[in-house]
Structure 1
Amino acid sequence: MRSPDEVLVDLRTAWTAALPDRLLGLYVHGSLVTGDFAADRSDLDVLAVLAVEPDPGLLAELGVLHADLDRRHPDWAGRVEVEYVSLDAVRDAAARRARDHLIARISPGERLHLLPATSHRLVTWSTVHDLGRALSGPPPPELLPAVDPELTRAALLDHVRDWPAWLTDMTSTPGAQAYSVLTLCRALQRLRHGRQLSKRQAAAETIAGRPEWAGLVVWARDWWYDRGRDTDAGRPAEVRDFVTRLSADLLAGERG
């Protein structure tokens, strides 16, 4: 298997050659930057900041690039998550300007597609501004606008509010269940304690601070990092209860 850095170098080379006048910056974020990256499990998370708005024509070009990347790195096929956004979209969102923008996105289990650039995306954009690593272009703070922490917090709360519905729509694989638990653990640590942690770190803090959920969080952490299988039975009822209760708890804490 090629290393993550080899894949990222290949991605940078191909994308800068194909989009020379449109690519302003290419940034890696997520567990490869913040810690706890697992080569056989973790995704490569990349944000591409563009001078243009993604549209169907650009989507077709990007589809060719991703197909070529998968061909060259079959062990990483389906594990390179890239979000394409115009700089104008990030600036408008950070300035609270309500304008319609689109992003393009490809992620594990999701084909490359266009979708609205909702305020949800501010969580990712602000994280890249603060913690992202440049593959191409200037350092993130020199290109991306800073996002008001309260605006980022509101976007994260929107995520938390939507998670129970998203879980209903997800396939009930143990992978989706473990991801849901660990993602809510990260939201808990950021909203209650102001800490941007990796999945493993957030799991450890939640296990220590919320012993009533320790058993489920240990299961989710171990499944995610110790090569759990999608043929496992999982814990769908417990996960649904955890997500519903923790979401309600975090939202009630904001209202209180």
Structure 2
Amino acid sequence: MQPTPYEDMNLLLENIAGDIRSTLGGKLEGLYLYGSLAWGDFDREISDIDLLAVLSADATEAEIEALRGMHEELASRCPEWNDRIETQYLSVEGLMTFREKRSRIVVISPGEPLNAKDAGAEWLQNWYCVQRHGIVLYGPAVTAFMAPVPKADFVAAVRTYAMRWRTHVPHTRFSRPYQGYAILTLCRALYTVAHGEQTSKRRAAEWFKEAYPEHARTVTDGWEWRERYRDADVDHERTYEQTVRFIEFAVGRLESMSPR
């Protein structure tokens, strides 16, 4: 299996796929890599590994416990990837019907331990990216399990999600790394609405700095805050107002733009 240009990452992905298959047995129908490792611009120091596992039926409580143990063992075996492997476990039916009804999904992501919740249309952005950029690690193409998501629907969902930052910010005192995440996420949202397609955070940040040079410094700062997420003794409040001003500008631009 050579899904990426990185030999060590290919070995890691092969091991993860093997772990999931061993844990779930014949219930695993497909496993798909998406995110920066799939479309390029992967940074092994800070990027996550994004995976979608499609199951023949919802995960049972026993299977969730088994998956929790599997991920804990994986983190112990590969400590550099602890809290950096983001995986969703969703049934075939859940993926086929996500726009019409809510289904059980099991998720583990950075800062979020393995847990079960309901998922519906709010996952459209993720599933579009799997459809558009996903790499098959096991099973058939993901289109075997889901109807195509139109690009226009994806762009509209990105815009709607990004607009929420304006109301979200006043009620949450973000850490400096999360402020960087917010800045870069909005750069990517603006790129998507302007061009009608998704791109990586790095490419979107470079585009944004050229398009809006008066805010280039904040974008550069945001990237640095993201990269230096391990820093201790950070004054998170010191950069908060700068982040709020950027969010206000970015959301204002989104309001004035017509999606392609």
> Could you tell me the TM-score, scaled by structure 1's length?
0.88
Q: Tell me the CA shift for residue 146 of structure 1.
A: 1.0
Give the Cα separation in 1 of the matches to 2:137 and 2:171: 34
Which has the larger displacement, 55-64 or 219-228? 219-228
Question: Where does structure 1 lack aligned partners over 5 or more consecutive residues?
Answer: none
Matched with 2:80 is 75
Q: Which residue identity does 1:205 align to in structure 2? A: W
Give the Cα separation in 2 of the matches to 1:132 and 1:53: 22
Give the Cα separation in 1 of the matches to 2:155 and 2:108: 25
Matched with 1:61 is 66
Give the Cα separation in 2 of the matches to 1:127 and 1:178: 22
Aligned 8 A contact 2:187 2:201 in 1: yes
- Give the percent of matched residue pairs that are identical in Structure 1 and Structure 2: 29
> Could you tell me the TM-score, scaled by structure 2's length?
0.87
Matched with 2:37 is 32
- Which of 99, 119, 122 aligns to 1:117? It is 119
Q: Counterpart of 2:90 in 1: which secondary structure?
A: strand
Equivalent residues in 2 for 1:72-221, closer than 5 Å: 72-93=77-98, 96-97=99-100, 99-167=101-169, 172-221=174-223
Root-mean-square deviation (CA), in Å? 2.3
Give the Cα separation in 2 of the matches to 1:157 and 1:115: 24
Matched with 1:7 is 12
- Which of 234, 241, 248 aligns to 1:237? It is 241
Q: How many residues align?
A: 251
Give the Cα separation in 2 of the matches to 1:37 and 1:139: 23
Give the Cα separation in 2 of the matches to 1:254 and 1:244: 18
Which has the larger displacement, 115-124 or 183-192? 115-124
Question: Where does structure 2 lack aligned partners over 5 or more consecutive residues?
Answer: 1-6
